[in-house]
């Protein structure tokens, strides 16, 4: 069974009298353990698709299924619960909580999930080690470089052991070397821990990290490069 | 971590938090001061005005129609019988004290000068007229036989000192004038509007003898255990009143003007408090809103990772409540010492006291329950303001919040 299944998904935004058709009939299937990249120029609908997969936005038409469940009709509270338990997010602007330390930022989703302090500590330490930030545990985000902040965001996205991590332009605010380091971390976690990643980018140079590349233009899938793994 | 997050956010936005904090401190301090002042006013009313007048006054029927309230023409017959009845069941349980008075208009003369005075024939241990009994500046209030206690103003006017003799001129109930010589035994000084001058005290028996009104008084003054029962008590003793040809006046009737003033003052205070709360709530709400809207991106990220709307509202309310608690405590720490100072030392209100029939010095009153209420109001205003700010932030579209980053 696929982890994510988009069937003829449309998304239309109303901006006063005009409407913008951001996504036009996208159908896409993503299986567990994949590292998928959605690529395309700015405004092609990448973020909109990621938001709908991540239960942040709802399709105007069509269905978005996550793990077999139609997530287009979840209530706010159910969507929040789905994001907390099953989906991790990595944002272009990191979106860390500036007043909390690296350790606290990483553990925050576990606090929301009601994990014990001991469990938070153990998981937090493991993930800080995995993203190479152990020595920065007590630092605030403002004291870190862009790459380090994005690694904190990746660790935070993974802390509740989600089935899917969505990364929206994770390297857009980073130089190419640091962006490469961040994508290395994502690829390693995908390979070693089986985490499913979907990331969007408009940078052709980083596409080599993806197992499958979905090309998007004007809200329509233009093509897919790479083979979909066999269903396990 | 919620609390820690709230505290850290408060510190990060400390300038705006300072505005919120100042709003809470000022409003709580203002409410505490106004409350202490009004509570003092109420206590002054009960202790000074009701303490002196009693809660129910009994007079002979026809008293209300008299042109001269101090005329000795209309007196209560056999007052001992009425007092005994008041002290017995079923009224005795409600009556704390009952006393006989014979008040009459007179002229006091000495050394070729005269002064009009209202003379009160009272028990030497009277519990009424505390402004005179507790403010003796020469001699004593002991009221020896054929003795008189006068005000300092009258003593100076008539050039009288302790031990000097004065002549008192009054009219018997029949209208026949009578003159008697009395010895000055005490001089009191009071800034009370009704007791400053033109008032003298003598023994009840001397007054009755002077007016040739043995076993008759002009008034029975009653203090109840619960002053708020006065009207009910007056209604309950109607058979007794009818039997003896008496009327009863409860304190609400006696002090109608002052009560209206107290009620207006209460209403004014409620309006002022409401105004203070509304202004404080506006300032606090706006400041919290600004602080919250500065963090839309952070809130968006928190909601994206699973924070529910109500949890977000709870987090903002937690911040507001914390400022409310701390600000209210500081506000009370500023205001309570001021209230306590004026409770001990009083506030000179000048001639306003004369207008209200109280002394010139006005004492505040600290009441723990009122202070606790003020504290709760402070915390509630801050928390409700934060609740609005939290609600306004939480209802924002999540995508819009994330785009703010």
Contacts of B398 in chain A (CB under 8 A): 56-57
Task: For residues B112 and B181, state if they share a domain.
Answer: yes
Q: Average pLDDT, stretch B286-291?
A: 84
Task: Determine the pLDDT at residue B353.
Answer: 62
Among chain B residues, the shortest Cα distance to A83 is held by B306
Among chain A residues, the shortest Cα distance to B2 is held by A111
Task: Determine the pLDDT at residue A23.
Answer: 93
Extract the tokens encoding B28.
């709580």
Extract the tokens encoding A30.
């993503």
B33 within a domain of the structure (yes/no):
yes
> pLDDT class for B160, splitting at 50, 70, 90?
very high
Interface of chain B toward chain A, CB-CB under 8 angstroms: 1-2, 4-5, 8-9, 11-12, 297-298, 300-309, 311, 398-399, 402, 405
Task: For residues B270 and B396, state if they share a domain.
Answer: yes
pTM of the model: 0.68
Tell me if A83 and B309 make a contact (CB, 8 A cut-off): no
Task: For residues B149 and B206, state if they share a domain.
Answer: yes
Selected residues 48-67 of chain A with any CB under 8 Å from a CB in chain B: 51, 54, 56-57
DSSP output for B85-119: HHHSTTTTTTEEEEEEEEEEEEEEEETTEEEEEEE
Q: Does A19 touch chain B (CB under 8 A)?
A: no
Tell me if B311 and A98 make a contact (CB, 8 A cut-off): no
- The count of structural domains within chain B is 2
B216 within a domain of the structure (yes/no):
yes
* Residues contacting residue B65 through CB under 8 Å, at least 6 positions apart: none
Burial bucket for residue B391 (CB in 10 Å: 0-12, 13-18, 19+): middle
> pLDDT class for B194, splitting at 50, 70, 90?
low
CB distance A194 to A32 below 8 Å:
yes
Classify A68 as helix, strand or coil: coil
Give residue B352's domain range.
Answer: 2-50+258-403
Task: Determine the pLDDT at residue B172.
Answer: 79
Task: Determine the pLDDT at residue B354.
Answer: 61
- Among B244, B274, B293, the domain-final residue is B244
Q: What are the percentages of helix, strand and coil residues in chain B, rounded to 5?
A: 55, 20, 25
Task: For residues B176 and B318, state if they share a domain.
Answer: no
**CA dist list (Å): A80 to A124, B306, B398:** 22, 5, 11
Chain segment A93-102, per-residue pLDDT in tens: 888 888 889 9
Site from B304, B307, B391 to mutate, A interface, most A CB atoms within 10 angstroms:
B304
Nearest CB among B297, B304, B309 relative to A76 is that of B309
CB distance B389 to B320 below 8 Å:
yes
CB distance A163 to A194 below 8 Å:
no
> pLDDT class for B252, splitting at 50, 70, 90?
confident
Task: For residues B43 and B66, state if they share a domain.
Answer: no
CB distance A151 to A185 below 8 Å:
yes
Contacts of A51 in chain B (CB under 8 A): 399
B57 within a domain of the structure (yes/no):
no
| Spatial separation of the C-alpha atoms in residues A232 and B384, rounded to whole Å | 53
Task: For residues B220 and B308, state if they share a domain.
Answer: no
Count Cβ atoms below 10 Å from residue B226 Cβ, excluding itself: 11
Task: Determine the pLDDT at residue A232.
Answer: 44
User: How far is B399 from chain A, CA to nearest CA, in Å?
Assistant: 7
**Pairing status of strand B177-188 against strand B136-139:** antiparallel
User: How far is B24 from chain A, CA to nearest CA, in Å?
Assistant: 25
Q: Average pLDDT, stretch B13-27?
A: 85
Among chain B residues, the shortest Cα distance to A103 is held by B1
CB distance B71 to B57 below 8 Å:
no
Count Cβ atoms below 10 Å from residue B285 Cβ, excluding itself: 22
Among chain B residues, the shortest Cα distance to A95 is held by B301
Among chain B residues, the shortest Cα distance to A112 is held by B307
CB distance B202 to B121 below 8 Å:
yes
Task: For residues B142 and B275, state if they share a domain.
Answer: no
- Among B244, B278, B310, the domain-final residue is B244
**Average pLDDT, consecutive stretches of 10 residues, N- to C-terminus, chain A (232 residues):** 90 86 92 91 90 92 92 90 91 85 92 90 89 90 90 89 89 78 82 88 78 91 76 46
Classify A167 as helix, strand or coil: strand
Residue A225 φ then ψ, to 5°: -105, 145
**CA dist list (Å): B123 to A3, A109, B119, B201, B336:** 99, 81, 13, 10, 41
- From A77, A136, A147, select the one nearest A104 (Cα to Cα): A136
CB distance B53 to B255 below 8 Å:
yes
Kindly state the percentage of chain B with pLDDT values over 70. Answer: 95
ipTM of the complex: 0.86
Site from A20, A112, A124, A166 to mutate, B interface, most B CB atoms within 10 angstroms:
A112
- The C-alpha angle with vertex A171 and arms to A167 and A175, in degrees rounded to 5, equals 170
Chain segment B102-123, per-residue pLDDT in tens: 999 999 999 889 999 999 999 9
Task: For residues B40 and B70, state if they share a domain.
Answer: no
Tell me if B9 and A99 make a contact (CB, 8 A cut-off): yes
Whether the per-residue pLDDT at B258 is higher than 80: the answer is no
B182 within a domain of the structure (yes/no):
yes
- From A218, A224, A180, A220, select the one nearest A34 (Cα to Cα): A224
Burial bucket for residue B267 (CB in 10 Å: 0-12, 13-18, 19+): exposed
| Spatial separation of the C-alpha atoms in residues A157 and A217, rounded to whole Å | 28
| Spatial separation of the C-alpha atoms in residues B97 and B78, rounded to whole Å | 18
Whether the per-residue pLDDT at B254 is higher than 50: the answer is yes
B12 within a domain of the structure (yes/no):
yes
Task: For residues B116 and B262, state if they share a domain.
Answer: no
Chain segment B309-362, per-residue pLDDT in tens: 888 898 889 888 988 999 999 999 999 999 999 999 888 877 666 666 556 777
Chain segment A60-116, per-residue pLDDT in tens: 999 999 988 999 889 989 999 999 999 999 888 888 888 889 999 999 999 888 889
| Spatial separation of the C-alpha atoms in residues B52 and B50, rounded to whole Å | 5
CB distance B285 to B388 below 8 Å:
yes
B251 within a domain of the structure (yes/no):
no
Task: For residues B280 and B212, state if they share a domain.
Answer: no
Chain segment B334-349, per-residue pLDDT in tens: 999 999 999 998 888 7
Among chain A residues, the shortest Cα distance to B8 is held by A99
| Spatial separation of the C-alpha atoms in residues A144 and A106, rounded to whole Å | 14
B136 within a domain of the structure (yes/no):
yes
Selected residues 91-110 of chain A with any CB under 8 Å from a CB in chain B: 91-93, 95-100, 104, 107-109
* Average pLDDT score, chain B: 86
Task: For residues B159 and B23, state if they share a domain.
Answer: no
Task: For residues B122 and B226, state if they share a domain.
Answer: yes
> pLDDT class for B1, splitting at 50, 70, 90?
low
Nearest CB among B12, B300, B308 relative to A77 is that of B308
B370 within a domain of the structure (yes/no):
yes
Task: Determine the pLDDT at residue B359.
Answer: 64
Residue position matching structure tokens 């706006």: B286
Residue A231 φ then ψ, to 5°: -70, 130
- Among B219, B244, B269, the domain-final residue is B244
User: How far is A109 from chain B, CA to nearest CA, in Å?
Assistant: 6
């Amino acid at each position: 069974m696929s982890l994510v299944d988009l069937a003829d998904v449309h998304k239309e935004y109303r901006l006063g009298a005009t409407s913008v058709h951001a996504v036009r009939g996208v159908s896409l299937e993503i299986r567990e353990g994949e590292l998928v990249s959605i690529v395309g120029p700015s405004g092609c609908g990448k973020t909109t698709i990621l938001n709908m997969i991540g239960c942040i936005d709802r399709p105007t038409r069509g269905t978005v299924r996550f793990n077999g469940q139609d997530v287009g009709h979840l209530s706010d509270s159910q969507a929040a619960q789905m994001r907390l338990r099953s989906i991790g997010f990595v944002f272009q602007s990191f979106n860390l909580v500036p007043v909390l330390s690296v350790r606290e930022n990483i553990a925050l989703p576990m606090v929301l999930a009601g994990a014990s302090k001991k469990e938070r500590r153990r998981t937090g330490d493991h993930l800080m080690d995995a993203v190479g930030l152990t020595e920065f545990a007590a630092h605030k985000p403002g004291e870190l470089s862009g790459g380090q902040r994005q690694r904190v965001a990746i660790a935070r996205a993974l802390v509740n052991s989600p089935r899917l991590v969505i990364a929206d332009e994770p390297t857009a605010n980073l130089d190419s070397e640091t962006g490469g380091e961040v994508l290395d971390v994502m690829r390693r976690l995908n390979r070693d821990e089986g985490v499913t990643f979907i990331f969007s980018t408009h940078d052709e140079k980083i596409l080599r990290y993806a197992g499958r590349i979905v090309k998007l233009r004007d809200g329509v899938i233009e093509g897919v490069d790479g083979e979909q793994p066999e269903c396990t | 971590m919620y609390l820690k997050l709230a505290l850290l956010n408060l510190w990060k936005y400390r300038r705006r938090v300072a505005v919120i904090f100042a709003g809470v401190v000022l409003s709580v301090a203002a409410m505490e001061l106004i409350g202490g002042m009004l509570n003092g006013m109420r206590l002054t009313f009960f202790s000074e005005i009701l303490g002196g007048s009693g809660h129910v006054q009994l007079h002979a029927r026809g008293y209300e129609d008299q042109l001269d309230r101090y005329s000795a023409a209309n007196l209560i017959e056999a007052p001992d019988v009425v007092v005994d009845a008041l002290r017995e069941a079923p009224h005795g349980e409600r009556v704390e004290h009952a006393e006989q008075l014979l008040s009459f208009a007179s002229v006091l003369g000495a050394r070729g000068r005269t002064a009009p005075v209202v003379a009160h024939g009272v028990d030497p241990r009277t519990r009424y007229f505390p402004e005179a009994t507790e403010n003796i500046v020469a001699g004593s209030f002991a009221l020896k036989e054929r003795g008189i206690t006068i005000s300092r103003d009258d003593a100076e006017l008539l050039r009288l000192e302790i031990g000097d003799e004065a002549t008192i001129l009054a009219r018997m109930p029949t209208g026949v004038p009578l003159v008697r010589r009395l010895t000055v035994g005490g001089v009191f000084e009071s800034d009370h509007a009704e007791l400053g001058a033109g008032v003298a005290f003598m023994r009840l028996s001397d007054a009755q003898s002077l007016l040739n009104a043995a076993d008759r008084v002009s008034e029975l003054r009653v203090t109840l255990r619960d002053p708020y029962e006065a009207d009910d008590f007056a209604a309950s003793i109607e058979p007794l009143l009818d039997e003896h040809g008496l009327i009863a006046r409860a304190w609400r009737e006696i002090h109608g003007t002052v009560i209206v003033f107290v009620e207006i003052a209460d209403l004014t205070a409620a309006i002022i408090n409401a105004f203070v709360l509304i202004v404080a709530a506006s300032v606090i709400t706006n400041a919290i809103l600004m602080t919250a809207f500065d963090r839309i991106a952070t809130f968006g990220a928190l909601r994206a990772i699973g924070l529910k709307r109500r949890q977000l509202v709870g987090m903002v309310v937690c911040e507001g409540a914390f400022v409310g608690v701390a600000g209210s405590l500081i506000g009370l720490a500023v205001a309570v010492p001021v209230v306590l100072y004026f409770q001990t030392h009083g506030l000179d209100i000048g001639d306003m006291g004369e207008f209200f029939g109280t002394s010139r010095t006005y004492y505040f009153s600290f009441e723990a329950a009122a202070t606790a209420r003020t504290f709760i109001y402070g915390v509630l205003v801050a928390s409700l303001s934060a609740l609005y700010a939290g609600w306004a932030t939480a209802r924002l579209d999540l995508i819009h919040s994330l785009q703010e980053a």
